Chain A
Amino acid sequence: MNIILNGEPHTLTEQCTIGSLIEQLELTGKRVAVEVNLDIIPRSEHNKHQLQENDKVEVVHAIGGGAV
């Protein structure tokens, strides 16, 4: 299954939840937020939410920033 992950093509095994995607990305336990096709998927739903072919997924985190 192919998705767009943070703007880049990414291939997944079939039947992948957000939780398992995060695990594959070695981001388990890190504070991240996930958006699928512009909808935020709450952390509590990550292990239930099945990704679909062509989903546009954004995984974001906090970095240093002031203005700009």
Chain B
Amino acid sequence: MNDPLIIAGVEYKSRLLVGTGKYKDMEESKLATEASEAEIVTIAIRRSNIGQNPDEPNLLDILPLDKYTLLPNTAGCYNIDDAVRTCRLARELLDGHDLVKLEVLGDEKTLFPDVSATLEAAEILVKDGFKIMVYTNDDPIMAKRLEEVGCVAVMPLAAPIGSGLGIRNPYNILEIVDNANVPVLVDAGVGTASDAAVAMELGVDGILMNTAIAAAQDPVMMATAMKNATIAGRQAFKAGRMPRKRYASASSPIDGTFF
């Protein structure tokens, strides 16, 4: 089935996007990322360690730019200036690469987004030529506003970042999907494979996750499970599920019974 995910005019086979944080080591990051078969992979931008382990393995060595689309993200930014600055540094770091994930957080306890700051940062970055995949809450109105200012994908949370609580508000996610003219990806909150399938069955275009894989007992196996669940959920959505009925409906014919 040729059913690509198209973001900012670029086709991707995989509808699963993964983060690279919280892994035990670089090797586990590499193996889990490979097992997920994700093509878009998020990274963070941080200060280089001055004078410490100059030969430590670099993340970009295990994520070759010819194989992966790196998605720098503004994780950890609590205001517009920090988020804009992070995106600009990422663009310099990656030789003009302009696809970024914007998140402006509002609160350390919940990590819910500050949506007014997110909207303002998105406007600044779109004017500056960035292609923005934006993290937001599951508010259909805000999702629409973010699309209107020019974001190339809208990424509502399913549950708080790192919570693993699954799809808490499927009707809002459905509403966002129904209204959107850009790809909608669930970003944050997925805990296990069934959550990924549920999200995809709602009709979202893709899922971005990190902790659900990295914090599993066996991250590499969970990466495979998430890959399969994302595909299964997408196929079920495309296939169209049977209607729900209150009472039973026999699947063997009644005609021809001999008793």
Interfacial chain B residues near A1, Cβ < 8 Å? none
Shortest Cβ distance from residue B31 to the other chain A in the assembled complex, whole angstroms? 13
Task: Produce 1/0 per residue, B9-48, CB < 8 A to A.
Answer: 0000000001111110000010000000000001111111
Taking CB atoms, residues of chain A closer than 8 Å to B45 are: 33, 60-63
Nearest CB of chain B from residue A30's CB, rounded to whole Å: 7
Contact B93 A68 (CB under 8 A): no
Residue-wise, chain B 191-206 has the 8 Å CB interface mask toward A (1 for contact) of 0000000000000000
- What B residues does A6 contact at CB under 8 A? 47-48, 50
How many B residues face the partner with a CB closer than 8 A?
45
Within 8 A of B (CB), among A1-20: 5-8, 10
- In chain B, residues 75-129, which have Cβ atoms closer than 8 Å to a Cβ of chain A? 75-76, 85, 88-90, 92-94, 103, 105, 111
Q: Which residues of A contact B254 (CB under 8 A)?
A: none
Chain B residues closer than 8 Å to A68, beta-carbon distance: 21, 75-76, 105, 111, 161-162
In the complex, chain B residues whose CB is within 8 Å of the CB of A32: 48, 93
16 contacts between A and B (CB under 8 A): A6-B50, A25-B50, A32-B93, A33-B45, A59-B50, A60-B45, A61-B47, A64-B23, A65-B21, A65-B43, A66-B22, A66-B75, A66-B208, A67-B19, A67-B73, A68-B105
